[in-house]
Copies of this chain bind each other. A is one copy, B any other.
Amino acid sequence: MPPPTETPAPAPLGRRAQQKRDKKRRIREAAWQLFTTQGYDATTTSSVAKRARVATGTLFLYAKDKPDLLFLVFRDRLRSAVDAQFASMPCDAPLLEQLLHLFRGLFEMYAEHPAVAAEFVRALPGADGPNAMAVNSYSMVFLQRIAGLVQAAQARGEVAADISPFQAASNIFSLYFGALLVWLSGFGDLASALDPGLRGALELQMCGLRRRDCGEGWSPTRPPSS
Contacts and interface: CB of A to CB of B under 8 A. Distances in A.
Interface stretch (A9-17, A54-62, A100-108, A118-126): A118-126
A159 B205 contact: no
A210 B126 contact: no
A174 interface: yes
A170 B175 CA distance: 9
Interface residues of A, number: 49
A125 B122 contact: yes
Contact of A209 (B118, B157, B168, B174): B168
Contacts of A159: 209-211
A175 B170 CA distance: 9
Contacts of A215: 213-215
A144 B105 CA distance: 31
18 contacts: A122-B126, A125-B181, A158-B211, A159-B211, A160-B209, A163-B209, A167-B201, A170-B178, A171-B201, A171-B204, A171-B205, A174-B201, A175-B175, A205-B205, A205-B208, A206-B210, A212-B214, A214-B215
